[in-house]
Amino acid sequence: MKTLTVIVYGLFGFLAIAAGLVAWVMPVIALPAGEVTPLTSHLTRELSSAFVFIGLMFFWCIRHYEQRRPVHLALLVFIVLFAGVHWQDYFGDRRDVVSPLLNSIPVVLLAITAPFKRP
């Protein structure tokens, strides 16, 4: 189980940092066509900064595997809320079902690898 957990941390850490840096440099990539304004660009850059931090926390979990419990659970709460945003958009008829389903995959993987029991 440790190998799977480390792979999940590494993959999500890399994806979060990469996506965060790309969106920070070019927020237009993360925004729907026609919705690029100075405010949406600013908010996208703020969110992308958070994603870089989140990616770093995934890598922290690899480095400090035995002490990862509170950080892992905090990441799980974040990813549940993040997926919830996409489900809310789906039920509000603003997205197709692919987006919330894709954003639910990390929820499942983090739940499977969660250290719910204290060491």
Q: Measured at the alpha carbon of residue 21, what is the angle toward residues 19 and 22, in degrees to the nearest 5?
A: 65
pLDDT for res 88: 93
Query: Taking each helix axis from N to C terminus, what angle separates 69-91 and 98-112, rounded to the nearest 10 degrees?
Result: 160
- In sign, the C-alpha dihedral spanning 48, 52, 54, 55 is positive
CA distances from 2 to 59, 62, 64, 113 (A): 14, 10, 12, 8
CB 115 within 8 A of CB 6: no
Mean pLDDT of the chain: 93
Is the model's pTM score more than 0.75? Answer: yes
99 CB-side CA count, 13 A: 13
Instruction: Output the pLDDT for position 10.
Output: 97
The predicted structure's pLDDT at residue 70: 94
- The pLDDT of residue 119 is 61
Tens digits of residue pLDDT in 72-89: 999 999 999 999 999 998
Which residue ranges in the chain fall short of pLDDT 50? Answer: none
